[in-house]
Amino acid sequence: DAKTTQPPSMDCAEGRAANLPCNHSTISGNEYVYWYRQIHSQGPQYIIHGLKNNETNEMASLIITEDRKSSTLILPHATLRDTAVYYCIVTYNNAGNMLTFGGGTRLMVKP
Amino acid sequence: GAVVSQHPSWVICKSGTSVKIECRSLDFQATTMFWYRQFPKQSLMLMATSNEGSKATYEQGVEKDKFLINHASLTLSTLTVTSAHPEDSSFYICSAGVGGWTTEAFFGQGTRLTVV
The whole-angstrom distance between A88's CA and the closest CA on chain B is: 12
CB contact under 8 A, B105 and A94: no
DSSP structure string for chain A? ----B--SEEEEETTS-EEEEEE-TT--TTEEEEEEEE-TTS--EEEEEESSS-EE-SS-EEEE-TTSSEEEEEETT--GGG-EEEEEEEEES-TT--------EEEEEE-
Q: What is the mean pLDDT of chain A?
A: 93
* H or E segment to which residue B29 belongs: none
Q: What would the pLDDT profile of A81-95 be if each residue is shown by its tens digit?
A: 999 999 999 988 765
Environment class of B31 (CB within 10 Å of its CB; exposed 0-12, middle 13-18, buried 19+)? middle
CB contact under 8 A, A96 and B109: no
Q: Are B95 and B105 in contact (CB under 8 A)?
A: yes
Nearest CA to B107 out of A80, A58, A34 is that of A34
User: What's the pLDDT at A94?
Assistant: 65
What SS3 state is found at B88? Answer: helix
pLDDT band at A96 (very low <50, low <70, confident <90, very high): low
Q: What would the pLDDT profile of A31-58 be if each residue is shown by its tens digit?
A: 899 999 999 999 999 999 999 999 999 9
Residues of B in contact with A44 (CB under 8 A): 44, 93, 95, 107
Q: In chain B, which stretches have pLDDT less than 50?
A: 100-101
Environment class of A92 (CB within 10 Å of its CB; exposed 0-12, middle 13-18, buried 19+)? exposed
User: What's the pLDDT at A63?
Assistant: 98
User: What's the pLDDT at B11?
Assistant: 98
Nearest CA in chain A to B57: A98
Chosen from B44, B71, B101 to mutate, greatest number of chain A CBs within 10 A: B44
Torsion of CA B62, B85, A42, B30, to 10 degrees: 40
Interface residues of B toward A, Cβ cutoff 8 Å, are 1, 4, 6, 30, 32-34, 36, 43-46, 49, 91, 93, 95-100, 102-110, 112
User: What's the pLDDT at B101?
Assistant: 45
CA B20 to CA B107: how far, in whole Å? 18
**Cβ count within 10 A of residue A2:** 15
Residues of B in contact with A100 (CB under 8 A): 46
Q: What are phi and psi of B86, to 5 degrees?
A: -55, -30
